[in-house]
Amino acid sequence: MIGQTVKELLLEKQENFLIDGDKVATLLDTHPLTHAFLVLTKVGYTKIPVLNSDDELVGFIGLAQVVDNMLAIDGVDFAQLDGKIVSDVMDSEVASIREFDDVERLFHLAVDHAFIPVTNEKNEFIGIVTRRELFKAINHLIHTIESDYDILKKKNYELVK
Ligand code: 4BW
């Protein structure tokens, strides 16, 4: 469990955590894979969220999944993508958080995921929290904690302001 003091320091910069949905590269589940190939190549991100027409988060897709579908016996064949759409190849297991969800869960998910999508109570996608922003919060914590708090070493560390 994250202690209250550490939680407060981690959350001091929380207004920077969320990258707003309109700044996040996304694809629709109905987009042709040829379009996904172009978008993923252009944006340069390894993996991006997939939404449906109701703006709900339904999966993730990365360039590797698209290219895997271009492989033919004698090499890469772009035509292999014809007729296929994003939902055919996307990863539908989405780990996401709700707005203002528990910070504990956020850091826990960031161990295995480079970014964590955030949804509202209507399950609509509102943005992502990236490992970069979480590392910035940890950086803030480790540079601040000893100047702002007296740390008494016990069996477990106890922090006294
Ligand atoms: O285009 C880029 N611009 C910037 N400023 N940094 C980038 C870019 N591409 C990669 N990076 C850096 C970031 O530090 O490389 C890291 C790993 O990228 P990734 O995973 O493997 O493509 C980036 O780390 P991050 O900011 O913590 O982002 C973690 C992951 O979140 C990225 C990508 O999958 C996703 N992501 C981040 N910003 C995004 C995004 N997906 C869609 N749209 C965005 N705006």
The residue whose C-alpha atom lies closest to atom 15 belonging to ligand 1 is: 45
Helix (H, G, I), strand (E, B) or coil at 91: strand
Pocket of ligand 1 (CB under 6 A): 19, 23-25, 44-48, 114-115, 130-132
* Per-position pLDDT tens, the chain of length 161: 888 888 888 888 777 889 999 999 999 999 999 999 999 999 999 999 999 999 999 999 999 999 999 998 888 899 999 999 999 999 999 889 987 667 889 999 999 999 999 999 999 999 999 999 999 999 989 998 888 888 887 766 566 66
Evaluate if pTM is beyond 0.75: yes
The residue whose C-alpha atom lies closest to atom 31 belonging to ligand 1 is: 115
Identify the residue whose tokens are 């990365």: 62
- CA dist list (Å): 41 to 23, 25, 32, 136: 17, 12, 14, 27
Cα(36)–Cα(111) distance, integer angstroms? 27
What residues have CB less than 8 Å from 130, skipping those under 6 apart?
19, 114, 115
Ligand 1: which of 24, 39, 45, 96 to mutate, judged by most atoms within 8 Å of the beta carbon? 45
Q: How far does residue 61's CA lie from ligand 1's centre (Å)?
A: 14
Q: How far does residue 137's CA lie from ligand 1's centre (Å)?
A: 17
Cα(11)–Cα(51) distance, integer angstroms? 28
